[in-house]
Amino acid sequence: VDHQEADWVSIHERICQLLIPIHTSSPFFSSEKERKHGMEQLLNRQKYIIDVAQSTAQKFILGGEPGKAIPAGLQALRFSVRVHGASSVDVVPAYLLLAEACTGAGCLTQAATYLSQAQWLVLKAPSCSPAVQHKLHQDLGLLCAAQGDLEQSLYHLANDIYLATCAFGAGAIQTAGGYFHMAKIFLRQNKTDVANSLFAEV
């Protein structure tokens, strides 16, 4: 019951009506043109669900309720796999969203599982964009920090900053996140001067 309530509060209420035509059997199409149109509508509906689920999960994470983001993240992953295929790099953002939610909720083993899936897909796709890779390293850095492995966290956050700079530029807001998280690690190591210089960069 708790899981059903969490799912309803998180995402199901927002996408319930959209799921009905997806889960009902496909109608009979009298022509190839009608069939193609029907398939396009189904694909667009699934893409819309991915967008709604991802934005809902992100809202809960930014609002400090990562546990509520997990059901929405699972819907984003489920439909990303349907639309793009399980081995596509386009599924990585959904894995990263789930990993971030799980890390925030303290489910570190589950977060590590999602991140290893994302890392594997990125490794298999040499053309994967720096924007996606930067988010992967940021989430790996946050997971390592939560696990207490501060040196490994700094390694991933340094990669995060480099890749964000490649993707967006040194002065971009996306690059600031890596500096911020890195500064927090240096504070935990009592390296206040380094931390303050990174906060100033942010």
Residue boundaries of the structural domains of the chain = 1-107, 129-201
Q: What is the CATH number of domain 129-201?
A: 1.25.40
Contact between 111 and 143 (Cβ < 8 Å): yes
Percent of the chain with pLDDT over 90: 69
Tell me if 140 sits within 8 A of 156, measured CB to CB. Answer: yes
Q: Which of 159, 200, 152 is nearest to 180 (CA)?
A: 200
Q: What is the pLDDT of residues 50-102, one digit of tens each?
A: 998 899 999 999 999 999 899 889 989 999 999 999 999 999 999 999 999 99
Rounded mean pLDDT of 35-56?
A: 84
Nearest to 55 by CA among 16, 109, 15: 15
144 pLDDT above the threshold of 70: yes
Closest CA to 146 of 102, 179, 88, 180: 102
Cβ–Cβ under 8 Å, residues 178 and 138: yes
Residue 63 has φ and ψ, to the nearest 5°, of -85, 5
Over pLDDT 70: what percentage of the chain? 84
Q: Which of 177, 80, 172, 96 is nearest to 136 (CA)?
A: 96
- What is the C-alpha separation between 96 and 118, in angstroms, rounded? 7
